[in-house]
């Protein structure tokens, strides 16, 4: 059986974003070095900066511009053709690394590190990073993520507390009701678990035209008894 990685799209984005920023800086440097052989300095600089900021859009446009406007030989007489790209690369990469270093001290940094820990299956590290993020920002979504990791480590009581905090904070995820019901059942509170399953069955996930498959599972749990 292939293990499932419990990671959201937002967490995956935070995981790959540093590499994407560095890649953008490197491609921007290449565009600057290439454009200097074809266009005036200020035009080459504009191409490079635009590529850095809007890589998926500008890079194809630059390639098209190069294919249409071939002036590669006309500016081959440039003095010190390597110096300016090296200076540009040092400035852009230095700025990117400084930004990433400063960013690692905030909430987003802790969320990114938690996502990376989850990919590696390191629940303890993910828990530590979510707790650190909550010190920075008391966010209900982070409480929910922390609760899921605590539940994975069999910290039932702590996980239930975090889910309740997420609920009180306004986290809109209806699936929390299923998680809470399961925790209450494990903690030998079947009556409370039944109430949570019933609440889940009245949520938007289960009352829409094509309900989630977990709704049917909740109905079965109620039909046979929560225990």
Cα dihedral sign, 17-19-21-24 = negative
Average pLDDT score, the chain: 85
Give the pLDDT band (50/70/90) at residue 73: very low
131 touches 143 (CB < 8 A):
no
Whether residue 14 has pLDDT greater than 50: yes
Confidence (pLDDT) at 72: 46
Give the pLDDT band (50/70/90) at residue 58: very high
Express each pLDDT in 173-191 by its tens digit.
Answer: 999 999 999 999 999 999 9
Round to whole Å and give the CA distance between 57 and 102. Answer: 27
Round to whole Å and give the CA distance between 125 and 143. Answer: 15
Give the pLDDT band (50/70/90) at residue 113: confident
- Contacts for 206 with CB less than 8 Å, ≥ 6 apart: 200, 212, 215, 218
Long-range Cβ contacts of 72-77 (<8 Å, 24+ apart): 72/37, 72/38, 74/38, 75/36, 75/37, 75/38, 75/39, 76/37
Express each pLDDT in 136-169 by its tens digit.
Answer: 889 999 999 999 999 999 999 999 999 999 999 9
Round to whole Å and give the CA distance between 155 and 148. Answer: 10
Q: Where are the domains of the chain?
A: 9-103, 174-227
Share of the chain above pLDDT 70, in %: 85
């Amino acid at each position: 059986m292939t293990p499932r990685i419990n990671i959201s799209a937002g967490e995956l984005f935070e995981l790959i974003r540093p590499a994407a920023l560095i890649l953008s800086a490197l491609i921007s440097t290449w565009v600057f070095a290439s454009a200097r052989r074809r266009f005036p300095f200020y035009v080459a600089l504009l191409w490079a900066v635009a590529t850095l900021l809007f890589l998926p859009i500008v890079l194809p446009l630059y390639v098209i511009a190069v294919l249409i406007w071939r002036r590669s030989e006309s500016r081959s007489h440039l003095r010190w053709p390597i110096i300016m790209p090296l200076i540009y690369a040092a400035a852009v990469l230095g700025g990117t690394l400084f930004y990433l270093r400063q960013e690692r001290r905030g909430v987003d940094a802790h969320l990114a590190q938690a996502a990376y820990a989850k990919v590696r299956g390191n629940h303890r590290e993910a828990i530590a990073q979510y707790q650190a993020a909550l010190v920075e920002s008391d966010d209900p979504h982070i409480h929910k993520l922390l609760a899921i990791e605590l539940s994975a480590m069999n910290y039932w009581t702590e996980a239930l507390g975090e889910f309740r905090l997420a609920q009180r904070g306004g986290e809109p995820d209806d699936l929390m009701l299923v998680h809470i019901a399961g925790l209450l059942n494990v903690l030998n509170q079947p009556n409370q678990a039944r109430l949570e399953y019933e609440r889940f069955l009245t949520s938007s996930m289960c009352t829409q035209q094509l309900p989630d498959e977990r709704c049917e599972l909740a109905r079965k749990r109620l039909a046979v008894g929560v225990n």
